[in-house]
Amino acid sequence: MTNNTSPTRRPILDMQKSEFWSGDLGLTLITISLTVLLLVITPLREAGLSGRLFFELVTATLMVFGTLSTEQSRLAKAFVIVILLVCGAVLAAGRLHPTLFLHELGSFLVTVTLLLYVRIVLLVMFRAGPVNWSRIQGGLCAYVLLGLAWASAFQLIEQLIPGAFDFVTAPADLDQLTSKLTYFSFGTLTTVGSSITPVHPFARALTIVEAIVGQLFPATLVGALVAMAMESRRKS
């Protein structure tokens, strides 16, 4: 009896996860979470606004479902989930017992986690099927996640090399540092610019790379989507 029901439940669960990510809902929820996190929570984080944790948990949960539903090895899936858990544990420890090492380790793990998020979104985005609105949402999500990943990398550099960035008003705590470097990261990614200046060579090099990626990523993404749309029309 047990042997017959267990294999049946598993395909149903896998099918539900696959349908969730194959439609617009999964990427739509991530897009909403990232938009609120970037445009509302992060700018007001300096004032101690609560709510960031909720949207980070929502994004992490959605990424776990995305990881489990994408076509990749079990080792790759386990690696992503372990990184997520370790990152969450280090960030929580850094909040409860703030030390420079925990903050530096947390910034590094957040950078790695966000880059893994980008990979998951792109895997979902470039799955087989017609080009639709959900793929455009996937591109937007990946672009925002890249900006957040660079912000964490900038934060790590500033923690390892104090004074690597020249601020108009020096950040008073970690929340202000995160907010200011997020602003700087997206100003660089979109080539809008900001009032923050990278001073250290490592900071300047990373800034140049982000500016280049910010220009090439959308162009490459649009080209890939156009190619997929043309291929889909040929098959139909």
The β-bridge partners of 131 are none
Cβ contact 167:203 at 8 Å: no
Residue-wise pLDDT for 88-130, tens only, equals 889 888 888 889 999 999 999 999 989 988 888 888 777 766 6
pTM: 0.80
Alpha-carbon distances of 68 from 71, 111, 150, 236, rounded to whole Å: 8, 21, 26, 30
Residue-wise pLDDT for 151-183, tens only, equals 999 999 999 999 999 998 888 888 888 889 999
Beta carbons within 10 angstroms of residue 81's beta carbon: 16
